[in-house]
Structure 1
Amino acid sequence: MDLFQTLTEMIDLRSFSNLWYWIALAVMWSTASHWILGVPFDMVHRARKNGGQSAEDLEDLVRINVNRMLYVVQMAGLWILAIACFVLSSLATLGFGLDVEFAQAVFLLLFPMATVGLVNLATARSIRLNEPQGDALYRRLATCRFAIQIIGMISIFVTAMWGMYQNLRLGVFG
């Protein structure tokens, strides 16, 4: 009986009172703000500081990732959009319409990440169109990162407020 109780506490679907949910949220946003268009942001700092081979490597990696991202969108973008809209609307309906806390928690993770995907896509299209190099490329990547960080701050704030509301409403701490 103790093993079953321990397992059910570890796999608790009441997400907002679960420490693992908040750890996952923090790791997700940390990763999202570090990897811009599939490029680690420390490469941007290194390229800006050192130039030379570091700058060439960054430009090559950005070019490869932009081409890959735009190719995937060109080939399967409509399907990806349809599936994403179905999943997000299903989660929103289950979570907020039918009051399923697990669906609310997953929606509050995935919806902002879908927005991050759109920001990355817009940045990739801008880079393909303008083909910036050097400082212009660094600024474009930094702007994309800043937008992702703003989305992350808003998302964390909304998730924390909703989670506190849910915990107080359901009497988790009482």
Structure 2
Amino acid sequence: MSLRVWLAASAAVLLLLAGCSSGPVRRVSEPAAGIQQLTVGADGNWVVEVRINNFSSIPMRFDAFDLKLSVGGQDAGALSAKPALDIGPESADVVSVQLKPQAMARLQMANALASGQGIAYSLSGTVRATPEKAKQRSFDVKRDSSLSPVPGIPGALR
């Protein structure tokens, strides 16, 4: 075997071994929050199902969130919870929050439901989470999206 072939083979083996020694990547990414479903009750109060996405490569414990909700451009109120929810890597889960919405937001939602139209919403605030084997962190979240009526489920939007 020539010296050149031997050096090339040795370099390839060393690169392969160096790649194996690093282990899995532990990446903590910003989580996201959005509305999975909003249901308007007969009393006018809402049940908001907040979907929390863990985009990290490691599990995280979602300790709390404080989010301001607006619908149709109107302040609806605050969504706050302390779910202490463990979410695996690159996974999501849902937390239900009761909300007594502000009057103008309630009116916007009633108009959207009566007309069978969707409605824009925005969430902004903080999510506090503890990555596996690390300290708790606070993440700023912002989401602008829309909800549409769910066929066959009166008062529900997704």
Please indicate, yes or no, whether the TM-score normalized by the shorter chain is above 0.5.
no
Q: Larger C-alpha radius of gyration, 1 or 2? A: 2
Output the TM-score relative to the length of structure 2: 0.24
The structure whose RCO (Cα within 8 Å, separation 6+) is larger is 1
Of Structure 1 and Structure 2, the greater helix share is in 1
